[in-house]
Amino acid sequence: MERMELEVTTRPSLSKGERKQLRSEDLVPAVIYGRGDDTLPLTIDGRTLRQILTTGGSNVLLDLKVKSKGKKTRQETVMFRDIQRDILVQDRILHVDFIRISMTDKIDVSVHLNFIGEPVGTEEGGVLSMVTRVVDVKCLPGDIPEQFDVDISELNIGDSITAESLVLDDEIELITPLETTLAQVLAPMSEEELEPAVDEELEEGEEVEEEEGEGEEGEEEESEEEAE
C-alpha cells in the first residue's frame, strides 16, 4: 500500500459561514481523531487533497505534517475514515475525517474488486451482474492491498463466483462472508417473461398517477374550504 505525505494546518472551530468561506478558497475543513488522543480540527489544500485521492485512493496511508501557529510541526499517521463530497459539484470535497492508526495494529478496511475478463456466458446471451464491488478485510496498515483481481472469464450462464474464491496473502484476513456472491451470469429473459414485467411496470405507473390525481383533488377541496 502506498504511503504519502500531506501538509495540514490546525484551525479553530468554525461557523457555517466560515466553513463556506474556506471552501470558496479551495480549502477543505477536516478533523483527526482516534487512539485516545484529542480531536484535532484541520484545514487542507483542496487541490493537493484531490491529487492524493486520485493517486493513492481512499485507502492510502498518510503521514500528516501538522502545522500550528507558534508550535513545532508534528506528524500524525492516519487514514481516511470519511470523505464528504458535494453531490452537485464534481470533485468538490466538503469535509474529511482522518483516523489515527498504528502500523503495528491490524485494522478493518474495505478493498475494491477488479473484475477481469469477459464471461463466456455473455457470448451466449447471458447477462453479467456484478453483485459486490468491495470486500472487507483485516490486516496491518502496511499490508492493505490496492485491489483484488477477480477473473470472471470462465463464468457460464447460471454460474457465479463468491468471496471464497479470492486469493489472499497469509497476513490478510477476509471479513466478508465466504458465501457472498461477487458476480454472476444470469440467463436472458424470454419474451414471455418480459411481457408480464412490462405490464406490471405500466400498472404501477397508472396507480401512481391515480394517487397523485386524488391528492391534487384533495388539496383543491381543502383550498376551497380555507377560502370560505
Helices assigned H by DSSP within 41-184 = 46-56
37-46, 51-60, 190-199: least confident range: 190-199
**pTM for this structure?**
0.73
Residue 152 has pLDDT above 50, yes or no: yes
In the sheet with 181-186, reading across from the earlier edge strand, the strands are 127-130, 181-186, 160-162
Rounded CA-CA distance 22/38 in Å is: 23
Q: Quick one: pLDDT at residue 189? A: 73
Nearest CA-CA partner of 157 in 193, 123, 106, 180: 123
Give the pLDDT band of residue 161 (cuts 50, 70, 90). Answer: very high
In order, the DSSP letters of 100-119 are: E--TTS-EEEEEEEEEES--
Render pLDDT for 96-146 as a digit per residue (tens, 0 to 9): 999 999 999 999 999 999 999 999 999 999 999 999 999 999 999 999 999
